[in-house]
C-alpha cells in the first residue's frame, strides 16, 4: 500500500523533531553555559500555518535554515545553540501535530488549548464516563462549583439538555457542536461565559488534563441529560363544614413551598397554619379584595404534620368550605420565588432592566431560588434548577423567605 505524500512528510517532520530534541537533551547532559540574554530568542512555529504538502516542505526548510549557523553558535554561545536545537525540534513536532498527526501517546499528553486539535485527537480515543465522573467529583474538584446549594456555576445535572436547548441557540455559539462547546468551556473558559455567571474558572485545565481524562469527562457530562423539571404545583382540595371540621391535618416536607386558599359562600373564612410544636407559621383573614383567606407562599420548615385551622371572622359560624393546598417541590434554597403572571412565560435578563439581553425564560408557576436583588428592589436575580440564571422583575413573582438576606447586585 502506498503511503500518501502528505502523510510521509508529516511523519518525517515528527522523526526529525524527535532526533533534534533528543540531540538537545543529550547535549544538555554535560555542563553548558547559560544562553547569552543579549542574543535573540530562537524562532519557533510560524503563526500563519498551512498544511498542504508544499507549505509543509516550505515550513520544514524554514526550520532547517535555523540550524544553518549551529556550528558557529555552538562555539560562540553553546547555551544558545542548544536552546535553538531544542526549540527547533519542538517546532517540528508542533508543526506535525498542528497538521493532524496523532502520536501513539496522545491519550497521556496534556490536551492544550487548541480546540480543533483536541477534537481531532479525541476522535481516536475511547472515553470512560465512570472515570470521568470520578475525576470530575474528585481530582479536579469540578463538583465543588457545579453542584450543591451554594454552587457558583451551571448545574452538572441537565448539562447536555441545557447545551442543546439553550446554549447552542445563542448567536455567539452559532455552528458549535456539543463537544466543541464543552471542550472550549474547559480549556478556554473565558471565551464564552454562561449568562448569569462570572468567569471564575481556572484557565489551566488544558495544561492539567490529559486527552484520556478529557475524553472521559466529556462522556460523563454528555450523559447528564436526564434533568426532569418537577411539575409544579401539586394541588390538593379538601372540603368540610363548620363547626364540625374546624381542623385539617396535612403532611409536609422540608423545603416544600405551599400556598393555602380557604373559600366559603356562607361565612368569612380565617385560616391559620400551625407547626407540629403548636407554633403559628401564618394566619390570614381577607385576601385580594375578597373575604376569602390565603396564606403563602410559605416554606415548610420540617418533615412533619401541619395543622390547618379553619375559622370565621364572625362567631358563631357554620357552613361549607373549600380548602386548596398548592405545593411546590424542588424550588431550591430560600428565599424562593414563584412566577405569578397572566402570561405563559417570563424572560430572564442579564441586567436588571427590560432593555438588557435575554438569557432565558421561566414559565408561570415555576419556582426557583433567588440569589440577589437590585439596589431599588425592583429586580431579583433568579437561579433555576435547570441551570438558567437571570434577572426578573419582582412584580412578576411571589416570594417565600426573607429577601433581606439577598446581596444587592448590579448585574
> Domain of 299: which CATH number?
2.60.120.380
Last residue of a domain, one of 222, 254, 271: 222
Distances 339 to 16, 331, 345 between C-alpha atoms, Å: 65, 12, 9
Domain-embedded: residue 104: no
Q: What is the CATH number of the domain that holds 343?
A: 2.30.30.40
pTM beyond 0.85: the answer is: no
Question: Which tens digits make up the pLDDT trace of 233-274?
Answer: 999 999 999 999 999 999 999 999 999 999 999 999 999 999
Domain match, 298 and 248 both = yes
Domain match, 215 and 140 both = yes
Neighbouring CB atoms inside 10 A of 159's CB total 22
Domain match, 315 and 243 both = yes
What one-character DSSP code corresponds to residue 408? B
What cell does 182 get?
464543552
Alpha helices in 99-210 (DSSP H): 115-122, 129-137, 143-146, 159-165, 178-187, 205-208
Domain-embedded: residue 211: yes
What is the total count of domains within the chain? 4
| Secondary structure element (H or E) that encloses residue 38, with its range | none
Give the sign of the dihedral formed by CA 351, CA 354, CA 357, CA 362: positive
Per-residue burial over 169-197, b = 16 or more CB atoms within 10 Å of its CB, e = otherwise: eeeebeebebbbbbbbbbbbbeebebbbb
- Residue at grid coordinates 532547517: 64
| pLDDT of amino acid 151 | 80
Domain match, 153 and 198 both = yes
Domain-embedded: residue 103: no
Exposed (0-12), middle (13-18) or buried (19+): which is 83, by Cβ within 10 Å? Answer: buried
Domain match, 127 and 185 both = yes
Domain-embedded: residue 264: yes
Last residue of a domain, one of 328, 356, 381: 328
| pLDDT of amino acid 371 | 94
> SS3 for 402?
coil
What's the rounded Cα separation, in Å, for the pair 260 and 252? 13
> SS3 for 109?
coil
Domain-embedded: residue 46: yes
Domain that holds residue 239: 234-328
Quick one: angle between helices 178-187 and 115-122, nearest 10? 120
Domain match, 323 and 244 both = yes
Q: Which of 366, 411, 363, 360 is nearest to 389 (CA)?
A: 360
Residue stretches of the chain with pLDDT short of 70: 1-53, 55-56, 59, 70-74, 92-103, 149, 226-230, 411
What's the rounded Cα separation, in Å, for the pair 184 and 176? 10
> SS3 for 376?
coil
Domain match, 340 and 324 both = no
Domain match, 80 and 160 both = no
* Residue partners of 113: CB distance under 8 A and separation at least 6: 187, 188, 206
155 close to 226: Cβ distance less than 8 angstroms? no
Domain-embedded: residue 320: yes
| pLDDT of amino acid 33 | 47
The rounded Cα 230 to chain-centroid distance in angstroms is 20
Domain match, 264 and 190 both = no
Question: Cis bond leading into 201, ω under 30°?
Answer: no
Domain match, 14 and 88 both = yes
Domain match, 386 and 355 both = yes
Domain-embedded: residue 92: yes
**Residue 6 falls in which region: left (phi positive, over 0), alpha (psi -120 to 50) or beta:** alpha
Last residue of a domain, one of 177, 198, 222: 222
Quick one: angle between helices 211-222 and 129-137, nearest 10? 100
Q: Which of 387, 389, 336, 394 is nearest to 366 (CA)?
A: 336
Domain-embedded: residue 161: yes
Domain match, 150 and 48 both = no
Question: Which tens digits make up the pLDDT trace of 130-165?
Answer: 899 999 989 899 988 988 757 888 888 889 988 988
Distances 198 to 11, 48, 78, 247 between C-alpha atoms, Å: 43, 33, 48, 49
Amino acid at each position: 500500500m502506498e503511503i500518501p505524500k502528505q502523510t510521509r512528510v508529516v511523519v518525517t517532520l515528527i522523526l526529525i523533531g524527535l532526533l533534534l530534541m533528543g540531540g538537545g537533551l543529550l547535549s544538555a547532559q554535560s555542563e553548558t553555559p547559560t544562553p547569552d540574554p543579549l542574543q535573540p530568542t530562537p524562532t519557533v512555529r510560524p503563526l500563519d500555518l498551512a498544511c498542504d504538502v508544499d507549505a509543509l516542505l516550505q515550513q520544514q526548510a524554514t526550520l532547517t535554515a535555523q540550524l544553518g549557523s549551529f556550528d558557529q553558535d555552538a562555539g560562540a554561545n553553546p547555551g544558545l545553540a542548544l536552546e535553538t536545537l531544542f526549540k527547533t525540534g519542538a517546532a517540528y513536532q508542533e508543526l506535525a501535530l498542528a497538521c493532524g498527526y496523532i502520536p501513539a501517546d496522545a491519550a497521556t499528553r496534556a490536551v492544550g488549548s487548541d480546540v480543533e486539535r483536541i477534537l481531532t485527537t479525541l476522535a481516536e480515543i475511547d472515553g470512560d464516563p465512570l472515570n470521568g465522573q470520578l475525576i470530575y467529583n474528585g481530582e479536579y474538584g469540578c463538583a465543588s462549583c457545579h453542584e450543591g446549594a451554594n454552587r457558583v456555576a451551571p448545574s452538572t445535572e441537565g448539562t447536555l439538555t441545557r447545551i442543546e436547548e439553550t446554549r447552542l441557540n445563542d448567536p455567539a455559539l452559532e455552528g458549535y457542536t456539543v463537544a466543541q462547546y464543552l471542550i472550549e468551556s474547559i480549556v478556554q473558559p473565558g471565551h464564552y461565559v454562561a449568562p448569569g455567571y462570572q468567569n471564575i474558572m481556572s484557565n489551566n485545565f488544558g495544561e492539567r488534563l490529559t486527552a484520556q481524562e478529557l475524553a472521559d469527562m466529556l462522556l460523563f457530562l454528555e450523559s447528564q441529560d436526564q434533568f426532569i423539571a418537577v411539575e409544579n404545583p401539586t394541588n390538593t382540595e379538601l372540603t368540610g363544614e363548620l363547626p364540625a371540621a374546624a381542623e385539617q391535618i396535612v403532611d409536609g416536607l422540608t423545603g416544600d413551598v405551599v400556598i393555602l386558599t380557604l373559600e366559603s359562600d356562607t361565612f368569612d373564612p380565617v385560616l391559620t397554619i400551625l407547626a407540629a410544636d403548636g407554633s403559628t407559621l401564618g394566619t390570614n383573614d381577607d385576601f385580594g379584595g375578597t373575604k376569602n383567606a390565603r396564606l403563602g407562599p410559605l416554606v415548610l420548615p420540617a418533615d412533619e404534620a401541619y395543622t390547618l385551622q379553619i375559622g370565621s371572622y364572625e362567631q358563631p359560624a357554620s357552613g361549607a368550605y373549600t380548602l386548596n393546598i398548592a405545593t411546590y417541590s424542588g424550588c431550591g434554597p430560600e428565599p424562593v420565588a414563584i412566577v405569578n403572571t397572566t402570561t405563559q412565560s417570563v424572560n430572564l435578563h442579564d441586567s436588571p432592566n427590560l432593555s438588557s439581553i435575554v438569557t432565558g425564560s421561566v414559565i408561570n408557576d415555576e419556582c426557583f431560588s433567588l440569589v440577589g436583588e437590585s439596589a431599588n428592589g425592583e429586580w431579583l436575580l433568579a437561579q433555576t434548577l435547570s441551570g438558567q440564571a437571570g434577572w426578573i422583575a419582582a412584580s412578576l413573582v411571589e416570594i417565600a423567605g426573607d429577601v433581606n438576606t439577598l446581596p444587592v447586585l448590579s448585574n
